[in-house]
Amino acid sequence: MQNKAPILEETQRSEAANEKLFVVSVGTHTRLGDVLEFALAETPFETINADTFVSATWEDRRVLFAVSADATGENASLRKLAASFRVGALERCVCAAIADGAAGGEAHLDMIRLLRAANDAGASVLAKPLLEGGRELRQFIHGKETPFTQYRIAARELVARLQAAQMESTKSSRVRFITVLEGGAAHDWREYLSRLIERNGGELADIGEPDETIMLCENTEGLPNEKTLSLLAGSGKLRMLIASPATGSDLYTACLIERACLRGNYTLPPRAVLMFDGLSAVEAMASKAEMERVKALFAK
């Protein structure tokens, strides 16, 4: 008879690792150290430095990026981390982030780049990361509690959401398509996506609460206009198909993520952004190679 004890022990170790939260520490923590101590008081966790984290491959893990911004705003360690993720390094992981500016520096844009890099590496990104950008804790000046107490409570709530998040990426049965594009381009993309979604067991639906939203947009000026940003008022999972005939696609994408996930309530499923650099929406659809990339996105 086969001895099942080693298999059981391995399963138990794997389950324990999945329950544990991995805190990736970046920067020198002062105020953030106190915030994390409160937020993680009832949570099993392990702290890992950034170099150790990017040297390994992680699967089915919950990851909290804890960043203290440099006083100068350079954030060299944070930028290095964002540039170091390998393809597939964070498969089926889910991540959240806390960034603190107690030293006077800012890390807002660098944090968006980090979260997008983690998403490209296979991780889901939770909505509403906690990015406190200054010494004054201005976002917490209202309320009965002191700003610092509110800050600690918000951090604990973020940890609780991360612990409760689903790591398995389930297929979406109801998908909503949104775009500010008009005419033939919008119609052709809608028809094409509808066929792909139906082929994978879902449906494109405009009525009711969707499981996932797909946004098609076109970068023609370097920054998204207010009409485009106004579409990002929903919640749930969000994928973005971005045609970018103009330069500045990274900043354009960062602005969309900021509105959708930082101010808004959207979660990014793994590899949520598909960029068509140098192509309009019409040109992307006419490209067989680009359409194969779209097919691959829905096949995962």
CATH of the domain at 270: 3.40.50.360
pLDDT at 135: 72
Regarding whether 265 and 121 lie in a shared domain, the answer is no
Regarding whether 94 and 36 lie in a shared domain, the answer is yes
Quick check: is 169 in a domain? no
pLDDT digit string, tens, across residues 123-143: 999 999 998 756 778 788 787
SS3 call for 120? helix
Quick check: is 256 in a domain? yes
Quick check: is 190 in a domain? yes
Regarding whether 197 and 239 lie in a shared domain, the answer is yes
Say which residue, 70 or 155, is predicted with more confidence: 155
Regarding whether 255 and 133 lie in a shared domain, the answer is no
Nearest residue to 167 (alpha-carbon basis) of 285, 34, 267, 33: 267
Q: Which of 137, 164, 191 is the last residue in one of the domains?
A: 164
Domain count along the chain: 2
Regarding whether 85 and 194 lie in a shared domain, the answer is no
pTM for the model stands at 0.90
Checking DSSP bridges between strand 21-26 and strand 62-68, what pairing results, if any? Answer: parallel
In one-letter notation, the amino acid at residue 116 is: R
Instruction: pLDDT band for 205, please (50, 70, 90 cuts).
Output: confident
Query: DSSP letters of 23-68?
Result: EEEES--SHHHHHHHHHTTTS-EEEEEHHHHHTS---S-EEEEEEE
Regarding whether 179 and 142 lie in a shared domain, the answer is no
Interatomic CA distance for residues 102 and 68, integer angstroms: 8
Quick check: is 95 in a domain? yes
Regarding whether 219 and 128 lie in a shared domain, the answer is no
Decide if pLDDT at 170 tops 80: no
Regarding whether 220 and 246 lie in a shared domain, the answer is yes
Regarding whether 62 and 136 lie in a shared domain, the answer is yes
Regarding whether 104 and 38 lie in a shared domain, the answer is yes
Regarding whether 243 and 160 lie in a shared domain, the answer is no
pLDDT at 70: 86
Quick check: is 23 in a domain? yes
Quick check: is 26 in a domain? yes
Identify the domain containing residue 195 by its residue range.
174-299
Regarding whether 11 and 94 lie in a shared domain, the answer is yes
pLDDT digit string, tens, across residues 224-242: 999 999 999 999 999 999 9
Q: How many CB atoms lie within 10 A of CB 79?
A: 15
